[in-house]
Structure 1
């Protein structure tokens, strides 16, 4: 068992290696998801609202539907925070020595990644539909049109990046499950 190191368990408690961490596909995809959430949040929060000179109140450029802008801003914010939390978990994952705790972390990652993929799919459909039915009269100068299109595109791309994270987490679960089975078979029995 000296040479066996199933996904870092043999190195539990070791020193954090940033080069190894940033070379992992899961880390790279998670950072992309984090950046995409920032782009969506920034596009809608900065240029998603406009007003006409004769009106005092701002309105959402997505068909004057306040729910569309609220959805994009809140999901961008929650996704940013969720990505940050899971990046921190990825940093500490090799230090988790218990296989059951590692398995719980990976199962949480699978569930959250699949949920975010669904959330961004709904967001893409909602934003694209509201943008499609927007009236020219509501925004004659086409203010924020590029930001609206960018938020729609990055919502679409986020569906696939979060789906990719789900698949990478499933692979990680296989490794952790293998480690658990290995420990059951080859651990000395406690009397």
Structure 2
């Protein structure tokens, strides 16, 4: 993927996340190691995605959309709840009886978030924000994502990039990913 506008970049990330969750929530896979690796990959994608949305998407939503403040706050609340679920799953064996229920709740939240953004937020932002600004923000999103490489999964290879840090799977994954990403936008 070349540098494109932020809406295109986020849409592509949504597709990546949906594909991982489709595989993760598929019936019949009881291989604990495979599910754990896939979950770690999903968590890595989600945390990185949440950070770039927080840095670039939500400030643009606040600035360019009517009721943008309310919408951004709603999204922050949803992300906080999703992170709570990810933290529960982070230390839980895939064989734990609660694992599938928590994973299903997280998957529902992620799918709802993606649907809301794809049908409401991104089209409105695209109409309200100039193409030059969306291109600039898209480049910043891609550059920010280069700060960290999430735990790999053989079925979902990452695009080649020169991430200075590969974050390993395991307990504390969410915090380690966040530690390697900027905590504020570099305008």
Between structures 1 and 2, the one with greater helix share: 1
The structure having more radius of gyration, on CA atoms, is 1
Query: Same fold judged by TM-score > 0.5?
Result: no
TM-score range, shorter chain: 0.3 to 0.5
Q: Could you tell me the TM-score, scaled by structure 1's length?
A: 0.43
